Amino acid sequence: MADLTPEQGDVQGVIARLFVHPVKSCAAVEVQEAWLLDTGLELDRAWMVVDPEGAFVTQRELPLMALIRPQLKTYEMVLRAPGMLALHVAIDEVEAPVSVQVWDDQVKAFDMGAVAAQWFTDFLGRPLRLVRFDPEQQRLSSLKWTGGVAAPNQFSDGFPVLLSSEASVADLNQRLAAAGHAPVGVERFRANVVLGGFDAFDEDRLEDLYIGTEDGPSVLRPVKPCARCPIPDIDPQSAQSSPEVGDTLRGFRSDDRVGGAITFGMNAIVTEGAERIVRVGQPVWGRYRFD
């Protein structure tokens, strides 16, 4: 329903926080506003770290990637990591074209050069290179999950936008506290849009999510529960891994929609209102899906 008003929605809230992850599997950049594109938030997962064969690497095998902290400036991205001089990466400059692999997809990209490669190699302790997604490449989300809608993304695991909510994190933290564990931040779940004012796990049940931008509603459609790997067990401040988050989620978040996998958050596609600015504090609303 393109004309669904907030008053007609089953749930209403606001955008509480926004995160861009410029380099896949490195730390997030929290922003107050971002361009919403067909591929997700601008510059989200625009860069990726690859091995000498061009295969992507993540915190799953290199937890220290959590300590690489990007800063976005007008014309450059600045990367910092403990014990390293800052690496300055021009946003609009690339070097040689390359072909790289992210999951089952072979995609066109651009190498970011020897200096960036040496920086990642030195910090992470194995030969690596930094690449930038080729904007001429079209990498589509799974048509099975999008219902046939052609939804492009860049180097994300599979979909343009990941949704979560403050209430869902609070629910998890209550369960962690009951088991004697420390609370965790939403950053562990690497969401782009964090919703405020919703009940816990409302994002699982939404048909469409409307965002009240200044230029009219933008619409995100949650299409697939986000199955969780070990990354939420990695503390983004220390890069140390411990099992309590995954263990707690296993107690209540098995999802039959994805073969019983443990899920947290919803992968979404942009169905209307791309090329608009989304901001923290903007109203959001939607209706529950019944299927």
Please report the pLDDT score of residue 196 as a whole number: 98
Residues 94-102 have a mean pLDDT of 96
The answer to whether residue 118 scores a pLDDT higher than 60 is yes
Task: Return the percentage of the chain with pLDDT > 90, whole number.
Answer: 97
Helix (H) or strand (E) holding 161: strand 161-165
Residue indicated by tokens 């099975």: 144
Q: Which of 126, 4, 125, 116 minimizes the C-alpha distance to 53?
A: 126
Please report the pLDDT score of residue 3 as a whole number: 78
Q: 176-184: which pairs have CB atoms within 8 A and are 24 or more residues apart?
A: 176/244, 176/245, 176/248, 179/244, 179/248, 181/244, 181/248, 184/232, 184/245
Q: Are 282 and 272 contacting, i.e. CB atoms less than 8 angstroms apart?
A: no
Q: How many CB atoms lie within 10 A of CB 104?
A: 6
* More reliable by pLDDT, 254 or 1: 254
Q: Are 45 and 97 contacting, i.e. CB atoms less than 8 angstroms apart?
A: no
Mean pLDDT, the chain, whole residue set: 96
| Residues 55-95 pLDDT 10s | 999 999 999 999 999 999 999 999 999 999 999 999 999 99
Q: What does residue 250 show for φ and ψ, rounded to 5 degrees?
A: -60, -20
User: 1 falls in which pLDDT band (50, 70, 90)?
Assistant: very low
| Residues 199-245 pLDDT 10s | 999 999 999 999 999 999 999 999 999 999 899 999 999 999 999 99
